[in-house]
Amino acid sequence: MLYDISAPISAEVCVWPGDRAFRRETTFDRSAGDPVTASAIHTTVHVGTHADAFSHVAPDGATIDQMPLDAYVGRCQVVRVDVTRATAIRPDDLTETIRTTRVLLATGTFPDPTRFNEDFAALSVELADALHAAGVRLVGIDTPGVDLFTAAGLPVHRRLAEHGIASIEGLRLDHVPPGEYELIALPLRLVGCDASPLRAVLRPVPS
Protein backbone atom coordinates (compact mmCIF):
# COMPACT_ATOMS: atom_id res chain seq x y z
CA MET A 1 0.00 0.00 0.00
CA LEU A 2 1.25 3.44 -0.92
CA TYR A 3 -0.07 6.89 -0.04
CA ASP A 4 0.53 9.32 -2.90
CA ILE A 5 1.30 12.64 -1.20
CA SER A 6 2.03 14.61 -4.38
CA ALA A 7 -0.08 17.35 -5.90
CA PRO A 8 -1.23 16.62 -9.48
CA ILE A 9 0.72 18.77 -11.92
CA SER A 10 -1.39 20.31 -14.65
CA ALA A 11 -2.35 23.72 -15.97
CA GLU A 12 -4.71 24.01 -12.98
CA VAL A 13 -2.05 23.70 -10.25
CA CYS A 14 -1.17 27.05 -8.72
CA VAL A 15 2.38 28.31 -8.34
CA TRP A 16 3.88 31.04 -6.20
CA PRO A 17 2.51 34.41 -7.42
CA GLY A 18 4.77 35.71 -10.16
CA ASP A 19 6.42 32.35 -10.85
CA ARG A 20 6.05 30.40 -14.10
CA ALA A 21 2.81 28.41 -14.32
CA PHE A 22 2.70 24.91 -15.79
CA ARG A 23 2.16 24.63 -19.54
CA ARG A 24 2.28 21.52 -21.72
CA GLU A 25 2.67 21.47 -25.47
CA THR A 26 2.95 18.61 -27.92
CA THR A 27 5.98 18.49 -30.17
CA PHE A 28 4.60 15.42 -31.94
CA ASP A 29 0.95 14.37 -31.89
CA ARG A 30 -0.49 11.04 -33.02
CA SER A 31 -3.92 12.63 -33.47
CA ALA A 32 -2.32 14.95 -36.05
CA GLY A 33 -0.78 12.07 -37.97
CA ASP A 34 2.60 11.83 -36.27
CA PRO A 35 3.87 8.31 -35.42
CA VAL A 36 4.11 9.15 -31.69
CA THR A 37 2.92 11.71 -29.17
CA ALA A 38 5.67 13.66 -27.40
CA SER A 39 5.26 16.55 -25.00
CA ALA A 40 7.29 19.48 -23.77
CA ILE A 41 6.58 21.26 -20.50
CA HIS A 42 7.31 24.80 -19.35
CA THR A 43 7.10 25.61 -15.64
CA THR A 44 8.94 26.61 -12.49
CA VAL A 45 10.99 23.90 -10.80
CA HIS A 46 9.02 24.84 -7.66
CA VAL A 47 5.78 23.51 -9.15
CA GLY A 48 3.45 21.36 -7.05
CA THR A 49 5.07 19.10 -4.49
CA HIS A 50 8.75 19.93 -4.67
CA ALA A 51 12.07 19.86 -2.85
CA ASP A 52 14.03 23.06 -2.36
CA ALA A 53 17.79 22.95 -2.70
CA PHE A 54 20.00 24.99 -0.39
CA SER A 55 20.97 27.10 -3.43
CA HIS A 56 17.41 28.46 -3.42
CA VAL A 57 18.51 30.88 -0.68
CA ALA A 58 22.27 30.37 -0.24
CA PRO A 59 24.54 31.48 -3.11
CA ASP A 60 27.10 28.78 -2.29
CA GLY A 61 24.50 26.20 -1.24
CA ALA A 62 24.05 22.78 -2.82
CA THR A 63 21.98 22.69 -5.99
CA ILE A 64 19.26 20.06 -6.23
CA ASP A 65 21.51 17.57 -8.05
CA GLN A 66 24.02 17.93 -5.20
CA MET A 67 21.56 17.36 -2.34
CA PRO A 68 22.07 14.04 -0.48
CA LEU A 69 19.58 11.54 -1.89
CA ASP A 70 19.32 9.57 1.35
CA ALA A 71 17.61 12.56 2.97
CA TYR A 72 14.57 11.91 0.76
CA VAL A 73 14.21 8.18 1.40
CA GLY A 74 13.62 6.47 4.73
CA ARG A 75 11.65 6.44 7.94
CA CYS A 76 9.51 9.52 8.53
CA GLN A 77 6.80 10.77 10.85
CA VAL A 78 3.57 12.48 9.79
CA VAL A 79 2.51 14.95 12.49
CA ARG A 80 -0.79 16.82 12.50
CA VAL A 81 -0.44 20.39 13.75
CA ASP A 82 -3.55 22.18 14.99
CA VAL A 83 -2.81 25.80 14.14
CA THR A 84 -4.77 28.64 12.60
CA ARG A 85 -3.90 30.08 9.22
CA ALA A 86 -0.99 32.50 8.87
CA THR A 87 0.64 30.94 11.95
CA ALA A 88 4.38 30.34 12.31
CA ILE A 89 4.48 26.91 13.96
CA ARG A 90 6.49 26.89 17.19
CA PRO A 91 8.04 23.87 18.95
CA ASP A 92 5.28 23.75 21.57
CA ASP A 93 2.65 23.50 18.80
CA LEU A 94 3.86 19.95 18.17
CA THR A 95 1.93 17.65 20.47
CA GLU A 96 3.99 14.57 19.56
CA THR A 97 7.59 13.69 20.31
CA ILE A 98 9.71 13.61 17.15
CA ARG A 99 10.97 10.04 16.75
CA THR A 100 12.41 10.05 13.23
CA THR A 101 14.92 12.07 11.23
CA ARG A 102 12.27 13.03 8.67
CA VAL A 103 9.14 14.94 9.70
CA LEU A 104 6.11 15.86 7.58
CA LEU A 105 3.76 18.49 9.02
CA ALA A 106 0.07 18.39 8.16
CA THR A 107 -1.56 21.77 8.85
CA GLY A 108 -4.60 21.73 6.59
CA THR A 109 -4.08 25.43 5.87
CA PHE A 110 -3.60 25.12 2.11
CA PRO A 111 -6.49 22.84 1.15
CA ASP A 112 -6.71 23.36 -2.61
CA PRO A 113 -3.60 23.13 -4.82
CA THR A 114 -5.46 24.91 -7.62
CA ARG A 115 -6.23 28.02 -5.54
CA PHE A 116 -3.43 29.98 -3.90
CA ASN A 117 -4.28 31.27 -0.42
CA GLU A 118 -1.65 33.52 1.12
CA ASP A 119 -2.62 32.80 4.74
CA PHE A 120 -1.11 29.32 5.01
CA ALA A 121 0.82 28.20 8.09
CA ALA A 122 4.58 27.67 8.02
CA LEU A 123 7.55 26.99 10.27
CA SER A 124 9.13 29.39 12.73
CA VAL A 125 12.89 29.79 13.05
CA GLU A 126 12.53 28.39 16.59
CA LEU A 127 10.97 25.22 15.21
CA ALA A 128 13.75 24.89 12.64
CA ASP A 129 16.26 25.08 15.50
CA ALA A 130 14.30 22.54 17.56
CA LEU A 131 14.13 20.09 14.66
CA HIS A 132 17.87 20.43 14.19
CA ALA A 133 18.41 19.74 17.88
CA ALA A 134 16.23 16.63 17.53
CA GLY A 135 18.44 15.31 14.72
CA VAL A 136 15.94 15.93 11.89
CA ARG A 137 17.44 15.80 8.38
CA LEU A 138 14.31 16.61 6.35
CA VAL A 139 11.12 18.53 7.04
CA GLY A 140 8.07 18.68 4.79
CA ILE A 141 4.86 20.69 4.97
CA ASP A 142 1.49 20.72 3.21
CA THR A 143 1.76 24.39 2.21
CA PRO A 144 3.64 26.26 -0.54
CA GLY A 145 6.45 27.35 1.77
CA VAL A 146 8.34 26.63 4.96
CA ASP A 147 8.23 30.42 5.49
CA LEU A 148 5.05 32.44 5.88
CA PHE A 149 3.91 34.26 2.74
CA THR A 150 4.67 37.58 4.45
CA ALA A 151 8.12 36.56 5.73
CA ALA A 152 10.81 39.01 4.64
CA GLY A 153 14.14 37.44 3.69
CA LEU A 154 12.93 33.83 4.02
CA PRO A 155 14.49 33.29 7.48
CA VAL A 156 13.28 29.69 7.87
CA HIS A 157 14.62 28.68 4.45
CA ARG A 158 17.96 30.16 5.45
CA ARG A 159 18.03 28.54 8.88
CA LEU A 160 17.20 25.11 7.44
CA ALA A 161 20.03 25.53 4.92
CA GLU A 162 22.41 26.51 7.73
CA HIS A 163 21.41 23.37 9.65
CA GLY A 164 21.64 21.16 6.55
CA ILE A 165 17.96 20.20 6.78
CA ALA A 166 16.34 19.40 3.43
CA SER A 167 12.80 20.63 2.86
CA ILE A 168 9.73 19.59 0.88
CA GLU A 169 6.86 21.97 0.18
CA GLY A 170 3.39 21.45 -1.26
CA LEU A 171 2.69 18.00 0.20
CA ARG A 172 -0.83 16.54 0.15
CA LEU A 173 -1.36 14.95 3.56
CA ASP A 174 -5.09 15.33 4.21
CA HIS A 175 -5.72 11.60 3.55
CA VAL A 176 -2.77 10.29 5.58
CA PRO A 177 -3.22 9.23 9.23
CA PRO A 178 -0.55 10.49 11.63
CA GLY A 179 2.21 7.99 12.32
CA GLU A 180 5.42 6.56 10.98
CA TYR A 181 6.02 5.63 7.36
CA GLU A 182 8.74 5.06 4.82
CA LEU A 183 9.13 8.17 2.67
CA ILE A 184 10.19 7.91 -0.97
CA ALA A 185 10.44 11.37 -2.55
CA LEU A 186 13.42 11.62 -4.88
CA PRO A 187 14.14 14.90 -6.68
CA LEU A 188 15.10 14.89 -10.34
CA ARG A 189 18.78 15.28 -11.16
CA LEU A 190 18.37 18.79 -12.53
CA VAL A 191 21.93 20.07 -12.77
CA GLY A 192 22.39 23.49 -11.24
CA CYS A 193 18.71 23.94 -10.33
CA ASP A 194 17.39 25.31 -7.05
CA ALA A 195 14.47 22.87 -6.70
CA SER A 196 12.78 19.87 -8.27
CA PRO A 197 9.23 18.54 -8.49
CA LEU A 198 8.69 15.24 -6.66
CA ARG A 199 6.48 12.18 -6.91
CA ALA A 200 6.33 11.63 -3.17
CA VAL A 201 4.84 8.51 -1.60
CA LEU A 202 4.54 7.02 1.86
CA ARG A 203 4.62 3.32 2.64
CA PRO A 204 3.27 2.19 6.04
CA VAL A 205 5.78 0.45 8.27
CA PRO A 206 4.99 -2.24 10.84
CA SER A 207 4.13 -0.81 14.24
Q: Contact at 8 Å (CB) between 197 and 53?
A: no
Residue 56: active-site member: yes
57 within a domain of the structure (yes/no): yes
**Domains held by the chain: number:** 1
187 within a domain of the structure (yes/no): yes
Q: What is the pLDDT along the chain (207 residues), one digit of tens a residue?
A: 999 999 999 999 999 999 999 999 999 999 999 999 999 999 999 999 999 999 999 999 999 999 999 999 999 999 999 999 999 999 999 999 999 999 999 999 999 999 999 999 999 999 999 999 999 999 999 999 999 999 999 999 999 999 999 999 999 999 999 999 999 999 999 999 999 999 999 999 976
17 within a domain of the structure (yes/no): no
Helix (H, G, I), strand (E, B) or coil at 134: coil
Q: Contact at 8 Å (CB) between 164 and 46?
A: no
* CA–CA separation, 15 and 45 (whole Å): 10
109 within a domain of the structure (yes/no): yes
* CA–CA separation, 71 and 75 (whole Å): 10
Phi and psi at 199, nearest 5°, equal -105, 95
70 within a domain of the structure (yes/no): yes
Residue 196: which domain range? 45-204
Q: Contact at 8 Å (CB) between 51 and 185?
A: yes
178 within a domain of the structure (yes/no): yes
CATH of the domain at 112: 3.50.30.50
* CA–CA separation, 115 and 113 (whole Å): 6
7 within a domain of the structure (yes/no): no
38 within a domain of the structure (yes/no): no
* DSSP states of 150-162: T-TT-HHHHHHHH
Q: Contact at 8 Å (CB) between 113 and 8?
A: yes
State the pTM of this model.
Answer: 0.96
Q: Which of 42, 46, 50, 56 is catalytic?
A: 56
